[in-house]
Structure 1
Amino acid sequence: MAAQKINVGVIGFGMSSKTFHCPLIVSSPHLVLHSIVSSNDSCTKVYPQAKHVATTADLFASKDVQLVVITTPNELHFPLAKQAMEAGKNVVVEKPFTVTSQEAAELVEISKRTGLVCSIYQNRRWDGDLLTAKKIIENGQLGRLVEFESHFDRFRNFVKAGWREQDVPGSGMLYDLGAHLIDQALHLFGKPYSVYGVVENQRQLKDSSIDDDFTIIFRYKTGLKVLLRSSMLARQTPVLRFSLRGMDGSYIKHYLDPQEDQLKSGQTPKNAGFGVEPESQWGTINTEVNGIHVVGKVETLSGKYLDFYNNVAETILKGDLSHLAVKPEQGYDTIRMIEVIRQSSDEGGKTIVL
């Protein structure tokens, strides 16, 4: 398997493609950045080894490409993923998977029927802070977990140019940052038994009608409460990332995983120290372990975004869809949860039992 390489075609050369996908693809020992679909050939100046392709039809017709990565506006995810798989291509779709659960369900069925990989770029499962929180939970270091609070906040009191802040299908914070927080919660704890959501447009700017704030509560039959929070008007520094409370203690974490900023600065997983968080940003724990009161810093595990793409490649090479880390069924679950959260919010913050 180590000697085999998979040719990758990327659709789009915007922020997501430039910052995340292309740098990770060229860092993987299993992948080759073969083609980029873009409106111009500027992509070849950054990646001269890649071919500039004018249209998605040309990419899907290429016999040399085995994996297609879709980094377009959200409403194009479904039709392009469907066309790619119908053309015999494995697919990675930037999050959110689709705009509706009906679309997501159709892609799940196509993947099952064709045996092709259809994965969603839920890279934040490999954030160092989430990996650390997961380890603390698995090791039982807080005792029985009763509350898991997760934030992904920003401060932007103006409208940023681009489709993400326009009133188009799949825009807004719930589909953007919410897709990450929801996926992380489902990954850690599975489906809740009840859902509460309030989704708002707090800025109420004349040139923006998207949601820019949400509060989500998942409840589980174990007594666990999961609170997911995001706001575009969070100016405090540092922003809260995680707050975990258990019967024996608590864990608090501020600051976001460093990998996105490292990628934006031109670093890749090939650079020493990639994904490593400085000690000044580590979380703190206050708990009891085997009768001993423990208070102090918890070294954040290294983030590993490259593991996402290596997993996709290994799944293709093995021909075993059960090996896939982010499955299309999980993508469906996240989009369906977004729909339930919107329903809860539209009905005045009504708790919906699943």
Structure 2
Amino acid sequence: MSTQESHKKAQVRAAIIGYGLAGSVFHAPLVDATPGMEVAAIVTSNTERQQSARKRYPEARILGTVEELWQDAQNYDLAIVATSNDTHVSLGIAAMQAGLPVVVDKPMAATVADAEQLLAASQETGKLLTIFQNRRWDNDFLTVQKILGARLLGPLTRFESRFERYRPAPKQGAWRESADPKLAGGQLYDLGSHLIDQALYLFGKPERVYAEMAQRRPGAQVDDDSFVALHFPSGISAHLWMSQVARISGQRMRISGLRGTYEKWGLDPQEDALRAGKQPGQPGWGTELRELWGHISTDITEGGIHLDGPIETEPGAYENFYAQVRDAITRGTKVPVDPRSVIEVIRVIEAAQTSARENRTITL
């Protein structure tokens, strides 16, 4: 089926607010690739981005202001807030008050109090609210869930996870590099919101939080090299690293139990594929070569086979997020990411900030 034909049959007409990295690389391509959905409108005041949006999505309306979207809200079925962090709450609330279900990009909000305002607006208006935590559909994280589901590691002891990059100089003028607390800049909010979300998704709410936050690069205004340790009531510890100053990255993920360990190097390929203009549904989407698979060593056998070596990586599947959004709108099923779970992530981020500032462990 062609994109044009799928648009004609679309049940969910999405309006994407913001066409920077989040809107153009993640949200718009994933919506466009989801059966039953279409990119019906894109809101951006930037003329270059408007031209880019028209070229890639010729059937979408290109709007210069959100006021145009609110005035015509009845012609859409979903608003996607893909703007800077300081506008997530106000735009999300305005969209719901205009009658639209809402997807808000991570980290949802800068504070627990602001995030709770979004949730309260959803409850008051009765409009769907979910948060784009796409890393729940990374290939390594899906593989870890499969391994844990098969109980291949025995009682779990430690989870280690890293997002490390090398960007030796802060990007001038970038809101993610700003010290304004409303913008929720820095690595703890940016990469850390993914790492913390994954840990909480696996193990529940932590009982203690310890963190270290540093500004390593000359001119840095926000943390660019941070570490968070979470301790869970089950006894499991999660150690999470997020950095812009690691020229050589460590293991992406490692999880250990009393009877086995799984480790994985390298990043999920979906972001790079999206940046290159690829979309879900194309050959090889979300898969990786055998030499990139993670390794497992366990004394537990599966199907009579002793596992000690490479284990196939589950295909990454960012497209599942918007498929579940579509079903939640059209069938009343559960949203892919419960906003309450993301509020807990922000609560951990606030505790981590306090821990780093006061150099102590915070009990939740």
Q: Which bin holds the TM-score, normalised by the shorter protein?
A: over 0.9
Amino acid at match of 1:178: G
Contact 1:25 1:32 in 2 (8 A): yes
Deviation of 1:221 (Å):
2.1
Report the counterpart of residue 298 of structure 1 in structure 2.
311
1:310 paired to 2:311: no
Structure 1 residues 259 and 292 mapped into 2: Cα distance closer, same or farther (>3 Å)?
closer
**Range with greater deviation from structure 2 (248-257 or 153-162):** 153-162
1:200 paired to 2:211: no
Give the distance between the partners of 1:292 and 1:57, measured in 2 at CA: 61
Q: Deviations over 1:324-343 (max 9, x none)?
A: 12011112111111111101
Q: How does 1:146-225 map to 2 (within 5 A)?
A: 146-161=157-172, 162-168=174-180, 169-203=183-217, 205-206=218-219, 208-225=220-237
Contact 2:204 2:232 in 1 (8 A): no
Give the distance between the partners of 1:141 and 1:184, measured in 2 at CA: 19
Give the distance between the partners of 2:207 and 2:345, measured in 1 at CA: 15
Report the number of matched residues. 347
Deviation of 1:113 (Å):
2.3
Q: How does 1:46-85 map to 2 (within 5 A)?
A: 46-62=56-72, 63-85=74-96
1:20 paired to 2:26: yes
Deviation of 1:310 (Å):
0.7
Q: Deviations over 1:16-73 (max 9, x none)?
A: 1111111001001121111001112311122111111111111122110110111111
Q: Deviations over 1:130-160 (max 9, x none)?
A: 0001111121101111000010110111112
Amino acid at match of 2:321: F
Identical aligned residues as a percent = 39
Give the distance between the partners of 1:4 and 1:152, measured in 2 at CA: 36
TM-score by length of 1: 0.95
Amino acid at match of 1:176: D
CA RMSD of aligned residues (A): 1.5
Structure 1 residues 65 and 245 mapped into 2: Cα distance closer, same or farther (>3 Å)?
same
1:7 paired to 2:13: yes
Alignment equivalent of 1:35, drawn from 41, 47, 70: 41
Deviation of 1:192 (Å):
0.8
Report the counterpart of residue 4 of structure 2 in structure 1.
none
Give the distance between the partners of 1:292 and 1:66, measured in 2 at CA: 49
Structure 1: unaligned runs, 5 residues or longer: none
Q: Which runs of 4+ in 1 moved over 3 A?
A: 290-293
Deviation of 1:270 (Å):
2.1
Report the counterpart of residue 3 of structure 2 in structure 1.
none
Amino acid at match of 1:198: E
Q: Deviations over 1:77-131 (max 9, x none)?
A: 1111011111111111111101111111111111122221111110000001100
Amino acid at match of 2:311: V
SS of the aligned residue for 1:284 comes to: strand
Deviation of 1:5 (Å):
0.9
Give the distance between the partners of 1:126 and 1:292, measured in 2 at CA: 28
Give the distance between the partners of 2:363 and 2:166, measured in 1 at CA: 33
Q: Deviations over 1:204-227 (max 9, x none)?
A: x12x21110111111112211111
